[in-house]
Amino acid sequence: MKPRKSYTLSWPRHRLELGSRTAVMGVLNVTPDSFSDGGRFFSPEEALRQGLRLVEEGADILDVGGESTRPFSDPVSEEEEVRRTVPVIEALAEAVSVPISIDTTKASVAKRALEAGASMINDVGALRMDPAMAEVASAFQVPLIVMHMLGTPKTMQVAPDYRDLHGEICTFLQEAIARAEQAGVPRGNIIIDPGIGFGKTVTHNLQIIGGLEAFASLDCPLLVGPSRKAFIRHLLKPEGASDLPADHPMVEIGTHAAVAAAVLQGAHIVRVHDVAGARATVTIIDAIRMG
Protein backbone atom coordinates (compact mmCIF):
# COMPACT_ATOMS: atom_id res chain seq x y z
CA MET A 1 0.00 0.00 0.00
CA LYS A 2 1.55 3.28 -1.14
CA PRO A 3 1.45 6.24 1.26
CA ARG A 4 -1.09 8.92 0.43
CA LYS A 5 0.38 12.38 -0.08
CA SER A 6 -0.94 14.98 2.35
CA TYR A 7 -2.40 18.32 1.29
CA THR A 8 -3.60 21.36 3.21
CA LEU A 9 -6.34 23.51 1.73
CA SER A 10 -6.51 26.85 3.49
CA TRP A 11 -8.75 29.70 2.41
CA PRO A 12 -10.82 32.43 4.08
CA ARG A 13 -12.84 30.91 6.96
CA HIS A 14 -11.81 27.29 6.32
CA ARG A 15 -8.96 24.82 6.43
CA LEU A 16 -8.92 21.16 5.37
CA GLU A 17 -6.11 18.78 6.23
CA LEU A 18 -6.15 15.92 3.72
CA GLY A 19 -3.87 12.97 4.27
CA SER A 20 -3.92 10.98 7.48
CA ARG A 21 -7.71 11.45 7.67
CA THR A 22 -10.11 11.03 4.75
CA ALA A 23 -12.61 13.86 4.36
CA VAL A 24 -16.29 12.99 3.82
CA MET A 25 -18.37 15.19 1.54
CA GLY A 26 -22.11 14.86 2.17
CA VAL A 27 -24.42 15.09 -0.85
CA LEU A 28 -27.42 17.40 -0.54
CA ASN A 29 -29.53 17.30 -3.69
CA VAL A 30 -32.10 20.09 -3.87
CA THR A 31 -33.72 18.59 -6.96
CA PRO A 32 -37.04 16.90 -7.74
CA ASP A 33 -35.45 14.22 -9.94
CA SER A 34 -32.23 12.98 -8.34
CA PHE A 35 -31.45 9.33 -9.09
CA SER A 36 -30.30 8.79 -5.50
CA ASP A 37 -33.02 10.22 -3.26
CA GLY A 38 -36.00 10.93 -5.52
CA GLY A 39 -36.42 14.57 -4.53
CA ARG A 40 -36.78 13.90 -0.80
CA PHE A 41 -34.96 17.14 0.05
CA PHE A 42 -36.43 19.41 -2.62
CA SER A 43 -38.10 21.78 -0.17
CA PRO A 44 -35.77 24.28 1.60
CA GLU A 45 -37.00 23.10 5.01
CA GLU A 46 -36.26 19.44 4.30
CA ALA A 47 -32.91 20.35 2.72
CA LEU A 48 -31.88 22.34 5.79
CA ARG A 49 -32.81 19.48 8.11
CA GLN A 50 -30.87 17.02 5.98
CA GLY A 51 -27.83 19.29 5.82
CA LEU A 52 -27.77 19.62 9.59
CA ARG A 53 -28.15 15.87 9.91
CA LEU A 54 -25.21 15.23 7.57
CA VAL A 55 -22.97 17.53 9.60
CA GLU A 56 -24.02 15.83 12.83
CA GLU A 57 -23.12 12.49 11.22
CA GLY A 58 -19.61 13.68 10.44
CA ALA A 59 -19.59 15.48 7.10
CA ASP A 60 -16.48 17.59 6.56
CA ILE A 61 -18.04 19.30 3.52
CA LEU A 62 -21.64 19.75 2.35
CA ASP A 63 -22.18 19.63 -1.43
CA VAL A 64 -25.41 21.38 -2.44
CA GLY A 65 -26.70 20.85 -5.97
CA GLY A 66 -29.79 22.13 -7.75
CA GLU A 67 -29.47 20.37 -11.11
CA SER A 68 -29.53 16.63 -11.61
CA THR A 69 -26.55 15.19 -13.47
CA ARG A 70 -27.93 11.66 -13.73
CA PRO A 71 -27.46 10.00 -17.13
CA PHE A 72 -29.72 11.45 -19.87
CA SER A 73 -30.90 14.31 -17.65
CA ASP A 74 -31.85 17.71 -19.07
CA PRO A 75 -30.29 20.97 -17.81
CA VAL A 76 -32.30 23.51 -15.81
CA SER A 77 -32.20 27.28 -16.13
CA GLU A 78 -29.85 29.49 -14.15
CA GLU A 79 -32.82 31.12 -12.41
CA GLU A 80 -34.28 27.79 -11.33
CA GLU A 81 -30.95 26.49 -10.08
CA VAL A 82 -30.44 29.65 -8.01
CA ARG A 83 -34.00 29.42 -6.66
CA ARG A 84 -33.37 25.87 -5.50
CA THR A 85 -29.93 26.28 -3.95
CA VAL A 86 -29.38 29.82 -2.64
CA PRO A 87 -32.01 29.82 0.15
CA VAL A 88 -30.69 26.47 1.39
CA ILE A 89 -27.08 27.68 1.34
CA GLU A 90 -28.01 30.89 3.15
CA ALA A 91 -29.71 28.91 5.92
CA LEU A 92 -26.93 26.33 6.21
CA ALA A 93 -24.18 28.97 6.25
CA GLU A 94 -25.71 30.42 9.42
CA ALA A 95 -26.06 27.02 11.06
CA VAL A 96 -22.92 24.99 10.26
CA SER A 97 -19.18 25.62 10.38
CA VAL A 98 -18.08 23.15 7.69
CA PRO A 99 -17.44 24.35 4.12
CA ILE A 100 -20.45 24.35 1.81
CA SER A 101 -19.76 23.45 -1.80
CA ILE A 102 -22.01 24.50 -4.69
CA ASP A 103 -22.38 21.70 -7.23
CA THR A 104 -22.96 23.53 -10.53
CA THR A 105 -21.58 23.99 -14.03
CA LYS A 106 -22.75 27.62 -14.29
CA ALA A 107 -20.46 30.46 -13.19
CA SER A 108 -23.39 32.76 -12.44
CA VAL A 109 -24.96 30.18 -10.12
CA ALA A 110 -21.62 29.60 -8.39
CA LYS A 111 -21.23 33.35 -7.85
CA ARG A 112 -24.70 33.66 -6.30
CA ALA A 113 -24.03 30.64 -4.09
CA LEU A 114 -20.68 31.99 -2.89
CA GLU A 115 -22.30 35.34 -2.09
CA ALA A 116 -24.92 33.41 -0.08
CA GLY A 117 -22.30 31.62 2.04
CA ALA A 118 -20.90 28.73 0.00
CA SER A 119 -17.12 28.40 0.07
CA MET A 120 -16.22 25.79 -2.57
CA ILE A 121 -17.18 25.06 -6.18
CA ASN A 122 -17.78 21.53 -7.50
CA ASP A 123 -17.82 21.79 -11.30
CA VAL A 124 -18.63 18.47 -12.98
CA GLY A 125 -18.10 20.24 -16.28
CA ALA A 126 -14.42 20.93 -15.44
CA LEU A 127 -14.68 24.51 -16.81
CA ARG A 128 -15.81 23.28 -20.25
CA MET A 129 -19.49 24.19 -19.95
CA ASP A 130 -18.79 27.67 -18.60
CA PRO A 131 -15.17 28.88 -18.87
CA ALA A 132 -15.99 31.81 -16.54
CA MET A 133 -16.21 29.36 -13.64
CA ALA A 134 -12.46 29.52 -13.00
CA GLU A 135 -12.58 33.31 -12.83
CA VAL A 136 -15.29 33.09 -10.17
CA ALA A 137 -13.22 30.61 -8.13
CA SER A 138 -10.20 32.91 -8.45
CA ALA A 139 -12.12 36.04 -7.48
CA PHE A 140 -13.60 34.42 -4.35
CA GLN A 141 -10.36 32.57 -3.47
CA VAL A 142 -12.15 29.25 -2.96
CA PRO A 143 -11.24 25.64 -3.76
CA LEU A 144 -12.39 24.32 -7.14
CA ILE A 145 -13.21 20.69 -7.90
CA VAL A 146 -12.82 19.69 -11.56
CA MET A 147 -14.30 16.37 -12.68
CA HIS A 148 -13.81 14.21 -15.74
CA MET A 149 -16.93 13.58 -17.81
CA LEU A 150 -17.19 12.12 -21.30
CA GLY A 151 -19.57 14.49 -23.10
CA THR A 152 -22.54 15.84 -21.12
CA PRO A 153 -25.05 14.23 -18.74
CA LYS A 154 -27.39 13.91 -21.73
CA THR A 155 -24.85 11.96 -23.81
CA MET A 156 -22.20 10.55 -21.47
CA GLN A 157 -23.62 7.02 -21.19
CA VAL A 158 -24.10 6.51 -24.94
CA ALA A 159 -21.48 3.82 -25.61
CA PRO A 160 -18.56 5.33 -23.65
CA ASP A 161 -15.25 4.14 -25.05
CA TYR A 162 -11.56 4.73 -24.25
CA ARG A 163 -8.30 3.54 -25.76
CA ASP A 164 -6.34 4.46 -22.61
CA LEU A 165 -8.77 4.96 -19.75
CA HIS A 166 -6.46 6.36 -17.08
CA GLY A 167 -4.27 8.21 -19.57
CA GLU A 168 -7.20 9.98 -21.22
CA ILE A 169 -8.71 10.98 -17.87
CA CYS A 170 -5.31 12.26 -16.68
CA THR A 171 -4.90 14.35 -19.82
CA PHE A 172 -8.41 15.76 -19.46
CA LEU A 173 -7.82 16.71 -15.82
CA GLN A 174 -4.38 18.16 -16.54
CA GLU A 175 -5.97 20.44 -19.15
CA ALA A 176 -8.67 21.47 -16.66
CA ILE A 177 -5.99 22.25 -14.05
CA ALA A 178 -4.12 24.37 -16.60
CA ARG A 179 -7.28 26.32 -17.49
CA ALA A 180 -7.95 26.97 -13.81
CA GLU A 181 -4.39 28.12 -13.14
CA GLN A 182 -4.43 30.40 -16.18
CA ALA A 183 -7.54 32.07 -14.73
CA GLY A 184 -5.79 32.67 -11.40
CA VAL A 185 -6.83 29.67 -9.31
CA PRO A 186 -3.79 28.55 -7.27
CA ARG A 187 -2.74 24.93 -7.76
CA GLY A 188 -3.23 24.50 -4.01
CA ASN A 189 -6.96 25.24 -4.39
CA ILE A 190 -7.65 22.61 -7.08
CA ILE A 191 -9.18 19.19 -6.36
CA ILE A 192 -9.55 16.51 -9.05
CA ASP A 193 -12.31 13.95 -9.53
CA PRO A 194 -12.05 11.11 -12.10
CA GLY A 195 -15.84 11.12 -12.47
CA ILE A 196 -17.13 7.71 -11.46
CA GLY A 197 -20.28 7.01 -13.49
CA PHE A 198 -19.87 10.00 -15.81
CA GLY A 199 -19.33 8.44 -19.21
CA LYS A 200 -18.04 5.09 -17.96
CA THR A 201 -19.11 1.46 -18.14
CA VAL A 202 -19.18 -0.84 -15.12
CA THR A 203 -15.72 -2.09 -16.05
CA HIS A 204 -14.38 1.46 -16.50
CA ASN A 205 -15.56 2.42 -13.01
CA LEU A 206 -13.94 -0.63 -11.43
CA GLN A 207 -10.68 0.02 -13.28
CA ILE A 208 -10.63 3.67 -12.20
CA ILE A 209 -11.09 2.82 -8.53
CA GLY A 210 -8.54 0.03 -8.71
CA GLY A 211 -6.00 2.30 -10.39
CA LEU A 212 -6.38 5.64 -8.61
CA GLU A 213 -2.62 5.85 -8.16
CA ALA A 214 -2.49 6.84 -11.86
CA PHE A 215 -3.78 10.29 -10.87
CA ALA A 216 -1.09 10.93 -8.24
CA SER A 217 1.13 12.49 -10.90
CA LEU A 218 -1.33 15.40 -11.18
CA ASP A 219 -0.35 16.38 -7.63
CA CYS A 220 -3.81 17.50 -6.44
CA PRO A 221 -6.12 16.14 -3.74
CA LEU A 222 -8.27 13.35 -5.17
CA LEU A 223 -12.05 13.17 -4.71
CA VAL A 224 -13.99 10.01 -5.57
CA GLY A 225 -17.79 9.79 -5.67
CA PRO A 226 -19.05 6.19 -6.04
CA SER A 227 -22.15 6.63 -3.89
CA ARG A 228 -25.17 4.64 -5.10
CA LYS A 229 -23.88 4.72 -8.68
CA ALA A 230 -25.27 2.42 -11.37
CA PHE A 231 -22.21 0.16 -11.44
CA ILE A 232 -22.88 -0.80 -7.81
CA ARG A 233 -26.58 -1.34 -8.45
CA HIS A 234 -25.72 -3.48 -11.47
CA LEU A 235 -23.12 -5.64 -9.76
CA LEU A 236 -25.44 -6.39 -6.82
CA LYS A 237 -28.63 -7.17 -8.73
CA PRO A 238 -29.98 -10.72 -8.67
CA GLU A 239 -29.20 -12.69 -11.81
CA GLY A 240 -31.67 -11.86 -14.57
CA ALA A 241 -33.20 -8.94 -12.66
CA SER A 242 -33.08 -5.22 -13.23
CA ASP A 243 -30.51 -3.07 -11.43
CA LEU A 244 -31.28 -2.52 -7.76
CA PRO A 245 -32.94 0.80 -6.86
CA ALA A 246 -30.63 3.45 -5.40
CA ASP A 247 -32.28 3.25 -1.97
CA HIS A 248 -31.88 -0.53 -1.62
CA PRO A 249 -29.93 -1.41 1.58
CA MET A 250 -27.50 -3.57 -0.38
CA VAL A 251 -26.57 -0.57 -2.54
CA GLU A 252 -25.39 1.30 0.55
CA ILE A 253 -23.27 -1.68 1.57
CA GLY A 254 -21.82 -1.77 -1.93
CA THR A 255 -21.13 1.95 -1.74
CA HIS A 256 -19.11 1.55 1.44
CA ALA A 257 -17.10 -1.25 -0.15
CA ALA A 258 -16.28 1.10 -3.04
CA VAL A 259 -15.45 3.90 -0.59
CA ALA A 260 -13.07 1.61 1.29
CA ALA A 261 -11.35 0.57 -1.93
CA ALA A 262 -11.03 4.20 -3.07
CA VAL A 263 -9.44 5.28 0.21
CA LEU A 264 -7.04 2.34 0.14
CA GLN A 265 -6.07 3.40 -3.39
CA GLY A 266 -5.38 6.99 -2.35
CA ALA A 267 -8.60 9.05 -2.38
CA HIS A 268 -8.47 12.09 -0.07
CA ILE A 269 -12.19 12.93 -0.17
CA VAL A 270 -15.20 10.66 -0.69
CA ARG A 271 -18.54 12.09 -1.81
CA VAL A 272 -21.47 10.13 -0.34
CA HIS A 273 -25.14 10.24 0.58
CA ASP A 274 -24.82 8.13 3.76
CA VAL A 275 -22.36 10.19 5.78
CA ALA A 276 -22.65 8.21 9.01
CA GLY A 277 -21.82 4.94 7.27
CA ALA A 278 -19.00 6.50 5.27
CA ARG A 279 -17.50 8.10 8.37
CA ALA A 280 -17.36 4.68 10.03
CA THR A 281 -15.87 3.11 6.90
CA VAL A 282 -13.11 5.68 6.40
CA THR A 283 -12.25 5.71 10.11
CA ILE A 284 -11.39 2.02 9.92
CA ILE A 285 -9.63 2.26 6.57
CA ASP A 286 -7.60 5.30 7.69
CA ALA A 287 -6.54 3.35 10.78
CA ILE A 288 -5.42 0.45 8.58
CA ARG A 289 -3.50 2.80 6.31
CA MET A 290 -1.74 4.42 9.27
CA GLY A 291 -1.27 1.19 11.22
What pLDDT shows up at residue 39?
54
pTM confidence score: 0.94
Give the DSSP per-residue string, 92-111.
HHHH--S-EEEE-S-HHHHH
Is the per-residue pLDDT at 25 higher than 90?
yes
Which residues are paired to 27 by β-bridges? 63
176 phi and psi, to 5 degrees? -65, -40
Give the mean model confidence (pLDDT) for residues 232-237.
96
Question: With pLDDT > 70 as the criterion, what percentage of the chain qualifies?
Answer: 93
Q: Catalytic residue positions? A: 229, 271
Q: How confident is the model at residue 33 (pLDDT cuts 50, 70, 90)?
A: low
What pLDDT shows up at residue 64?
97
Residue 286's CB is within 10 A of a number of other CB atoms, namely 17
Angle between helices 165-182 and 202-210 in degrees, nearest 10: 70
The sign of the torsion formed by the CA atoms of 43, 44, 46, 51 equals: positive
Give the mean model confidence (pLDDT) for residues 201-223.
97
Q: Where are the domains of the chain?
A: 7-290
Is the per-residue pLDDT at 256 higher than 80?
yes
Q: Are 107 and 135 in contact (CB under 8 A)?
A: yes
What pLDDT shows up at residue 31?
82
Please state, in angstroms and rounded to a whole number, the distance separating the CA atoms of residues 77 and 73: 13
Q: Name the strand (E) or helix (H) holding 15.
A: strand 14-18
The sign of the torsion formed by the CA atoms of 181, 185, 189, 195 equals: negative
Please state, in angstroms and rounded to a whole number, the distance separating the CA atoms of residues 199 and 95: 36
| Beta strands in 229-283, from DSSP E residues, in sequence order | 269-272
Which of 64-78, 94-108, 128-142, 265-279 has the lowest average pLDDT?
Answer: 64-78
Q: Are 114 and 136 in contact (CB under 8 A)?
A: yes
CA atoms in the 13 A half-sphere facing the CB of 234: 10
Give the mean model confidence (pLDDT) for residues 93-97.
97
| Beta strands in 19-106, from DSSP E residues, in sequence order | 23-29, 61-65, 100-103
Is the per-residue pLDDT at 206 higher than 90?
yes
The CATH homologous superfamily to which domain 7-290 belongs is: Dihydropteroate synthase-like (3.20.20.20)
Is the per-residue pLDDT at 34 higher than 80?
no
What pLDDT shows up at residue 184?
97
- Over the stretch 152-196, which tens digit does the pLDDT of each residue have? 766 667 778 899 999 999 999 999 999 999 999 999 999 999 999
- Over the stretch 37-89, which tens digit does the pLDDT of each residue have? 555 556 888 999 999 999 999 999 999 999 977 666 677 899 999 999 999 99
